[in-house]
Amino acid sequence: MWVCPRCGRRFANPNQSHACGPLDLAHHFEGRSDAVRAAYATFLSLLEENGPVTVLPEKTRIAFQVRMSFAQLTLRRRWVVGHLVLARRVDDPVFTKVETFSPRNHLHAFRLDGPDEVERLRPWTPEAYAVGRQDRLLP
């Protein structure tokens, strides 16, 4: 793991592009509804069922990392948008968009209007967590 000497963030690849800064989680929750706060907490709990997760507050989003970032949320006032990174393309109505970046790197975007919708993502969080661990690189 490479650690940025300026901000201390850890990355799977050296000199990875990012925005350094003293970013905190609190500013993401300012002016957000209780449903948005609960959706975040429920989503984080679901991810943590797979193992430890590092929460990385950034300027406009909250990333979730093991060795690499495998999920993210952007909190809006009344809903949440985010994505999971999967090693394969999955076509399911829960995903609003799927973008392919490489044969084993597919971004699956979603929208959550409250914590009760997080459960729809359960089938794919173990696979996303494995992408974050970079299991395909392990011997």
Alpha carbon dihedral 45, 118, 76, 52, in 10-degree steps, equals 20
pTM of structure: 0.85
- What structural domains and CATH numbers belong to the chain? 22-137 (3.90.1150)
- CA 82 to CA 69: how far, in whole Å? 12
pLDDT tens by residue, the chain, 139 residues = 677 766 666 666 676 666 666 578 999 999 999 999 999 999 999 999 999 999 988 888 999 999 889 999 999 999 999 999 999 999 999 999 999 999 889 999 999 999 999 999 999 999 999 999 987 765 5
Residues in the chain: 139
- Residue 68: C-alpha distances to residues 9, 11, 31, 38, 53 (Å): 11, 6, 29, 25, 10
